[in-house]
Amino acid sequence: MPTITIDNREFDVDSLTTEAKQQLDMLVACENKLRELQRDTVITQTARNAYANALKSLLPTPLDQTLAQGDTLKLG
């Protein structure tokens, strides 16, 4: 006989009404979906960081750093 604890009170799942069991099933589905979305968020953030780092490595040297190295900028 499986039990659930809600608000520090234990309930026998088999004794719940059909409607209560349906609500419990939806609650469990929501909890599972939240865990899945949290995992997907971590994966997406990791990929985003990798793409940002790859982009940074492909960018040319910024103009202000070039000028700081002693180059001259001539305006035409």
Give the tens place of pLDDT for each residue, 48-58.
999 999 999 99
Q: Measured between alpha carbons, how far is residue 70 from residues 65, 66, 67 in Å? A: 9, 7, 6
pLDDT at 63: 75
Domain boundaries along the sequence of the chain: 1-48
Burial class of 16 by CB neighbour count within 10 A (0 to 12, 13 to 18, 19+): middle
The residues, ordered by sequence, that sit 6+ positions from 3 with a Cβ below 8 Å of its Cβ are 10, 11, 12, 13
Q: What is the mean pLDDT of the chain?
A: 90
Query: Quick one: what percent of the chain has pLDDT higher than 70?
Result: 84
1's tokens:
């006989």
